[in-house]
Amino acid sequence: MRTKRRPVTKLMVLLAVLLALFHLSFLWGRLEVPLPQVIGILAERCGLSVTPTWTDTMAVAVLHIRLPRILLAAMVGCALSAAGTAYQCVFQNPMASPDILGASSGACFGAALAILLGHSGGGVTALAFGFSLLTVGLVYLIGRRARGSRILNMLLAGMMVSSLFSAGTSYIKLVADPSSKLPEITYWLMGSLSGAQGKDVVFFLGPLLMGLIPLVLLRWRVNLLTLGEEEATAMGVDAARLRLVVIFCATLLTAASVSVSGMIGWVGLVIPHFSCRLVGNDCRYLFPASMLMGGSFLLLVDNISRNLLATEIPIGILTAFIGAPFFLYLMTRKEGA
């Protein structure tokens, strides 16, 4: 009983940390908005009758700038961490990350192409999302047609297709207008939530639910995939079909995340390892822990990116600065330490 209760207790602590960061994020910003005013603005937004004690500028900052960004940061962190956990379990590879099948490279190519063609906002998001799904679909087809181990074939196909789309992105940057298009493409590729809007949250919510709900419901079956295909089949699980469902859900989460936030690396690689250290490798607890920790991590990093310096730091840069040293620490840390 104690071993079951301990992971649940840790999950409750992670949930409390996420909720605390979520609420504190409204207080951090260039415009000071005290806590009572934040509560009043949000309460009025929910339809409650509240006497205004805030300015219109405060209301705009809380509702139209901070709220979409905070929601998107928590959702993207949750999605990338869940996708990374799913890929690591399916491919039985601790180095697997959300971009292992080329989803991120395809999204970057689609976004760069959209910017080159003069699209902005929703057009960039839509093209990035579409090319991300197209890339993984192509990788899956190549992996199925190739001979040998299907998992190994998909990994190799992911590397090759990702390289092709990365080359395409480089060519787009080469021919883009250096005074207008190129800086926009470069900034998008670094990853940022600075332009988050309510429509981005609405767009992201659909793929988020479509990807997370099956993963949460099937997480106990994913445990069997970690034992190997033969063992999973012997226990009555259609390993090939389950792997396809998990890959599709993880790809959907990755594609949606990159399309609304740009390239944000390391979250889907580092957070699953931290979660595994915290609650163990049982997917029943590992998936929820990764989602909660990923949301908290990206919320924290986003708050640092928009408040540390006078000029906002792209969040993709910060996740690399923070994620890489922590991952090196995990690699070199002794189990008994």
Amino acid at residue number 224: L
Q: Which CATH architecture does the domain made up of 2-332 adopt?
A: Orthogonal Bundle (1.10)
| 32-41, 98-107, 207-216, 217-226: range with highest mean pLDDT | 207-216
Give the residue with greater pLDDT, 99 vs 214: 214
What's the confidence (pLDDT) of residue 336?
41
Residue 331, pLDDT > 80, answer no
Beta-carbon contacts of 294 under 8 Å, excluding residues fewer than 6 positions away, are 77, 78, 79, 80, 81, 82, 267, 268, 271
Residue 250, pLDDT > 90, answer yes
For 138-155, the pLDDT digits (tens) are 998 888 887 777 778 888
Beta-carbon contacts of 145 under 8 Å, excluding residues fewer than 6 positions away, are none
- Average pLDDT, integer, range 295-305: 94
Residue 185's SS3 state is helix
Residue 212, pLDDT > 70, answer yes
Ordered by start, the domain boundaries in the chain are 2-332
* Whole-structure pTM value: 0.90
Give the residue with greater pLDDT, 196 vs 69: 69
Q: Which of 61, 67, 199 is nearest to 120 (CA)?
A: 199
The answer to whether 102 touches 135, Cβ cutoff 8 Å, is yes
End-to-end Cα, the chain, rounded Å: 26
- Average pLDDT, integer, range 81-110: 89
Rounded CA gap, 326 and 318, in Å?
A: 12
Residue 311, pLDDT > 50, answer yes
Which range is least confidently modeled, 21-25, 78-82, 234-238? 234-238
Give the residue with greater pLDDT, 203 vs 2: 203
Residue 213, pLDDT > 60, answer yes
What's the confidence (pLDDT) of residue 168?
96
Identify the helix (H) or strand (E) that includes residue 177: none
Q: 133: how many CB neighbours lie within 10 A of its CB?
A: 21
| Lookup: tokens for 262 | 């740009």
Amino acid at residue number 178: P
Rounded CA gap, 148 and 141, in Å?
A: 14
CA 90 to chain centre: 18
R_g of the chain computed on alpha carbons: 21
Give the residue with greater pLDDT, 289 vs 120: 289
| Residue the block writes with tokens 């415009």 | 31
Rounded CA gap, 184 and 51, in Å?
A: 42
Rounded CA gap, 277 and 61, in Å?
A: 38
- Average pLDDT, integer, range 6-30: 92
What's the confidence (pLDDT) of residue 52?
84
Q: Residue 166 — very low, low, confident or very high, per pLDDT cuts 50/70/90?
A: very high
What's the confidence (pLDDT) of residue 177?
92
Q: Which of 209, 203, 198, 173 is nearest to 188 (CA)?
A: 173
Rounded CA gap, 314 and 262, in Å?
A: 10
Rounded CA gap, 303 and 23, in Å?
A: 12
- Average pLDDT, integer, range 45-57: 84
